[in-house]
Amino acid sequence: MNLTLGEAKKKAISLMLEFSNDGVPIPDGENADYLLSMNRFASDAQMEISNRLGIESSFTINKIRVNEQGVTKYPLPDDFKSLQFITLYDETFTDYQLRNGQLWINNRYEGLFEVFYEKNPTLLDSSTPESYEFEVDNHVQHLIAYYMGGMALSEEKEDISNKLLNIYFEGLNNISNFKNRAYSTVRSIDNW
């Protein structure tokens, strides 16, 4: 289950209180000020996490051969960050070019191409609903609240801000990409 923006805000406020030196609850008026800036902080954290552990996406192209010469150009999605791999008939396809935000495929090929890529996360702003679900992997979403809380307190309570940001950056440094994106196919186990 994905963490929502609203849940991350509640967790960030809770963390801010938990790490408070004097244990005095933050007044609701101050919470409102903190909450106004948290969408931007959440967006920054999600972008930084996605730079370490990409957000996978894919799309398909059903290409029909028109003639043997030239290329067909397909626009890449707006959220395109980097190409992982392309398959044609469940085999890795490598005869393509990426140019000027387009995928070029030679006209001699036809069939259903599946394009796997890493995407940029949605940029969050003040109009992003509380129900927005973070796009980074579930196992790292909890880090976002630490960043949000740490950044919200950065100008007022530097010691608490540093504690929260240290937890965030330690978690960020421990992120490892354990996913094997391009699975190899074993064709034969004979003659090893």
Tell me: the pLDDT tens digits for 76-110?
999 999 999 999 999 999 999 999 999 999 999 99
The pLDDT score that the predictor gives to residue 65 is: 83
* pLDDT tens per residue across span 112-139: 999 999 999 999 999 999 999 999 999 9
Angle between helices 158-173 and 28-52 (to 10 degrees): 20
The pLDDT score that the predictor gives to residue 181 is: 43
* pLDDT tens per residue across span 10-39: 999 989 887 665 666 666 666 677 787 899
Strand order in the sheet with 96-99: 71-75, 102-106, 96-99
d(CA 118, CA 54): 6
